Amino acid sequence: MPQRKLTKSYIHQPCDTPLEGNTVADYLDLAAELFPDRDALVFIKDGTRKTFAQLHRDVNDLAAGLLQFGLHCGDNVGIWAEENYQWLVTDFAVSTAGCTSVRFPVNSTPERLRHLLKKVNCKVLVIGSIHTNPVHILSEIIPSFEFYSEKVINCEGIPNLKHIISMSPTNHPSIIQLCDVINLGKNDKKEEILKEAKHATDSDSSYAIVFTSGSTGDRKAVALRHRRLQYAALQMEYQFGYTGEKRDSERIITNHVNDFTSGMHTMAESLMLTLGATVVFPHPNTTEGILDAVQREKCNLLNAFPMNLSEISNAIDISKYDVSSIVNVICTGGTVPLTILNKVAREMQCNIELIYSSLECAAIALNKSSIPLEDKISTYGSPAPYYEIKVTDLTTGRITPVGVPGQICVRSPFLLKEYVGDKELTTSAKSGEGWFRTGDSGKLDERGVLKVMGRTDDVIIKGGINIYPAEVEQIVCQNPKIKLHQVVGVPDEQFVNELCLCVVLHDSTTSTESELKDYFTGKLDDFRLPKYILFLKEFPMTETNKIKRNDLAKLAAKMLHLEK
């Protein structure tokens, strides 16, 4: 925290730890040297358990094979497969070869995948065993693929795509087997080939392209730099005092709570590569599956979403699981009611941290572990190490005085490189001075503590007055009966827009509109009270458990017969 009180909404978090110029290959080399016999990955589903030495060997074999197969530094390689060890080896091998791994959502439809392939110009597509009839599916992407007989693909709609590689055995002349590419790399040329690739790659090169969840529109292709991998180590040092010296004696065992295509995976791989953490992949990927993985592997760092904490607090008998190994819980994706935070912290005897982050920026703001829980509920603390934060007026773009809401802007070495295939979007999001416009509304207080108030385009203008949904939602989230909540704007003849509160109740609980309106009494002024309250069984959600606010607003207007 700064000693002087702020007057303008700008703050910078300096850091004594030097920035590193390492790449995925550099970090993997170092991890294999320091922790050769330590588990790097554990997959609960099939029992796969691999050490850093094994991972390093498998990644280098495939990386060398890819380069001898015909890939060059800078090429994009798509991966469309289920999460397993093969997926991760392929992902790291592509990066080690100096190429960029494009992580396609596993549930993408063929039509959607065709669109994304063209957008990011993939030269190679690697598919997994989830596709029981890959030839049929690929024929929907590449016309007449079932009749192909050549190894090189020639598709007019996707001109850059040249090869299909399969992780599982497939009898088709145009599909190359991944095992054959791996064997191609096992020769005397491997070390020399990899050395050249490492020399041609630096920390500002792209190592992965990850797609946003699409909660407000079309999926954006976010290019991440190798430099991004250092952020989790800095976060652990700042929040928990976990310095580089501790990695030999205080091993981190963390769980992974989402599929490989999400931003959460970048946190897991960062901890693994930079700190030698063991990453545990639960099965099934539910809150119960996560707790079971914690019990089996004695995880001491738990990554979670607000829904996970809500289920632990209200719907799951935590006594069925031994979670005594948990020391810290990191929660991203939104605020959590204080009642839930206190209950989870008490029952699990652990420290809970709420993180303000995004796929484009990594961890933006966070609290130190010493901050009381009640102070974390409405704020996200100060900037993460090496981050600058400013709040700007939506109209003028100038920095606002402290306490005045505006758009949150971030500058950091760990920001996205670009939105691939969309120069206009990249230009509108990133300024020439390196500032990224998050699209989130928020404000800084005189201590430099950030409060996030929602998306700028979620601001509801009622009768000419800006109302931030978070103003209402921070009160709603204190109600123990409510599992999910969202305030959206719906059409109104008098004020143009009105507030509608949509809620999903916890199982076995009941409530009424009048009960919830009474709950707001004395907590909000009349102008900000929701005019409508809708009880739903579920919300429209993205694959990464984010609420599709735009879809929910349209649904609310339809249910209330208020469509424009």
pLDDT digits (tens, 9 = 90+) for 151-178: 899 888 899 999 999 999 888 999 999 9
For a pLDDT cut of 90, what percent of the chain falls above it? 60
Q: Give the pLDDT mean for 195-223.
A: 86
Label each residue of 296-356 as H, E or C. Answer: HHCCCEEEECHHHHHHHHHCCCHHHCCCCCCCEEEEECCCCCHHHHHHHHHHHCCEEEEEE
Amino acid found at 176: I
Query: Above 70 in pLDDT, residue 555?
Result: yes
Q: CB burial class (10 A; 0-12, 13-18, 19+) of residue 420?
A: buried
Residue 208: closest CA among 386, 445, 468, 23: 23
pLDDT digits (tens, 9 = 90+) for 281-302: 999 988 999 999 999 999 999 9
The overall longest dimension of the chain from CA atoms, in Å, is: 77
Cα distance from N-terminal residue to C-terminal residue, the chain: 47
**Cα 321 to chain centroid, rounded:** 27
Domains belonging to the chain, first-starting first, are 10-20+212-455 (3.40.50.12780), 48-201 (3.40.50.980), 459-559 (3.30.300.30)
pLDDT digits (tens, 9 = 90+) for 90-123: 999 999 999 999 999 888 888 888 989 989 999 9
Q: Which residues contact 17 (CB under 8 A, 6 or more apart)?
A: 234, 237, 244, 385
Query: Above 80 in pLDDT, residue 213?
Result: no
pLDDT digits (tens, 9 = 90+) for 44-85: 999 999 999 999 999 999 999 999 999 999 999 999 998 899
Average pLDDT, the chain: 89
Q: How many Cβ atoms are within 10 Å of 442's Cβ, its own excluded?
A: 26
Predicted local distance difference test score (pLDDT) of residue 445: 92
Question: Cβ distance 278 to 232 under 8 Å?
Answer: no
CA separation, residue 444 to residues 313, 382, 518 (Å): 31, 9, 31
Predicted local distance difference test score (pLDDT) of residue 473: 84
Predicted local distance difference test score (pLDDT) of residue 263: 58
- pLDDT tier, 262 (very low <50, low <70, confident <90, very high otherwise): low
**Cα 187 to chain centroid, rounded:** 37
Query: Above 80 in pLDDT, residue 216?
Result: no
Q: Give the pLDDT mean for 34-40.
A: 95
Predicted local distance difference test score (pLDDT) of residue 464: 80
Question: Cβ distance 277 to 267 under 8 Å?
Answer: no
Both structure tokens of 293: 């993985």
Predicted local distance difference test score (pLDDT) of residue 333: 76
pTM comes to: 0.87
pLDDT digits (tens, 9 = 90+) for 502-546: 999 988 899 999 999 899 888 888 888 999 999 999 999 876 667
Predicted local distance difference test score (pLDDT) of residue 1: 44
Predicted local distance difference test score (pLDDT) of residue 503: 94
- 523 versus 280: the higher-pLDDT residue is 280
Q: Give the pLDDT mean for 125-142.
A: 85
DSSP tag of 103:
E
CA separation, residue 535 to residues 200, 242, 458, 485, 539 (Å): 56, 44, 20, 10, 10
- 457 versus 308: the higher-pLDDT residue is 308
For a pLDDT cut of 70, what percent of the chain falls above it? 94
Q: Render the burial of 212-227: b for 16+ CB within 10 Å, e for the rest.
A: bbebbeebbbbbbbbb
- Return d(Cα 396, Cα 471) in angstroms, integer: 24
pLDDT digits (tens, 9 = 90+) for 458-511: 888 888 888 888 888 878 887 888 888 999 999 988 888 999 999 999 888 999
Q: Where are the beta strands (DSSP E) in 104-189?
A: 122-127, 163-166, 175-177
Predicted local distance difference test score (pLDDT) of residue 45: 94
Query: Above 90 in pLDDT, residue 230?
Result: yes
- Return d(Cα 349, Cα 345) in angstroms, integer: 5
Question: Cβ distance 420 to 104 under 8 Å?
Answer: no
- pLDDT tier, 397 (very low <50, low <70, confident <90, very high otherwise): very high
- Return d(Cα 249, Cα 35) in angstroms, integer: 11
